[in-house]
Amino acid sequence: MAVLEIFKYPAPVLKRPAKPVDQISPELLQLIDDMIETMYAAPGVGLAAPQVGRSCRVIVFDANRDESERSPMALINPEIIFAEGEFCMEEGCLSAPELNVEIKRKGQVKVKALTREGKEVIIEAKEFPAVLLQHEIDHLDGKLIIDYLSGLKRSLYKRKLKRKEEKEKN
């Protein structure tokens, strides 16, 4: 297993919709293992393939916040098939450092996907796990938390990144 580079905003791969997976190959399974290792090393609770530069519809996540009881999951071609209610929480993102955004999402979701073994599953989630799934599926659709900001806040964040980049060059 390997820790992969996490692409940061404004990397183009983060804005493109990811391609569906048509075959579960040894390479895909290796990518999933590497993504899980990368997620924990970051540290984070979720990671989508576009965040590591791969345009495929794969996410990994671990909604268990207790590090001693890790239970990572991988979903291939996940899609939200049911969503209701409302849940609002502050979200961060490994691809948008130093940015936290309060986002109103659905409070309950059902997600249909394939497991790494190729079995179809339906996952029901509420509150934090539901937000986590919606956040990672957003990545597969080319959407980032920065897209939930107002125009002014987005401009301020972009300016902050530019200043940080210029400072690192000097």
Just list the catalytic residues: 136
* Distance from C-alpha of 4 to C-alpha of 50, rounded to nearest angstrom: 12
The distance from CA 9 to its chain's CA centroid, rounded to whole angstroms, is 13
